[in-house]
Structure 1
Amino acid sequence: MVRGNAKIEAQKKAAKKQEQMKSAGSQLDARKAALKFTCPICRTPLTSYATTKAHYESKHPKETVPPQEQFDK
């Protein structure tokens, strides 16, 4: 029964991975910390001023990009 040993090892590996994921914390908290900026026009959450500029160029080309000082608050 060659597969039996491999199955047990796979179960141990999966259990260990699940424990690591539980101790890592919530992904929602990490997402909230990363999304610092919000587009004032469409309320899209953005990660940085550079992504804000790219967002304005692609989604709101007729609008001017707000200065970075406005986002540093």
Structure 2
Amino acid sequence: MARGQQKLQSQAKASEKNSKLKKQQGHSANDQKKAAQKALVHVCTVCKAQMPDPKTYKQHYENKHPKNDLPEELKDV
């Protein structure tokens, strides 16, 4: 086991490494969530589900709401 000065140096190095890892993880998870939320721009008029692009929205609408008429914004997609 390490003693004295060596122990203190080891602890300082480990705590610095852990703080860097926590900082990296916190930012990347938050940034990814925000970016994913920004990408969901299309909202289904029936069930309020969010989709990233009109093609996915059209597929969702045709599969989940076949009895309803297609919205105007999806007719040309």
Counterpart residue identity of residue 38, structure 1: V
- The number of residue pairs the alignment matches comes to 58
What does residue 40 of structure 1 align with? 45
**Residue in structure 2 matching 1:65, options 67, 70, 74:** 70
- For structure 1, the 5+ residue unaligned runs are 1-14
Worse-superposed segment, 53-62 or 24-33? 24-33
Give the whole-Å Cα distance in 2 for the aligned partners of 1:65 and 1:17.
48
Q: Which moved more, 1:59-68 or 1:42-51?
A: 59-68
1:55 aligns with 2:60: yes
**Identical-residue share of aligned pairs (%):** 33
Gaps of 5+ in 2: 1-17
In structure 1, the partner of 2:26 is: 22
TM-score normalised by L of structure 2: 0.55
Letter in 2 for 1:47: P
Instruction: Give the alignment's Cα RMSD to 1 decimal.
Output: 2.8
- Report the CA distance between 1:57 and its aligned residue: 1.0
Q: CA deviation at 1:62?
A: 1.2
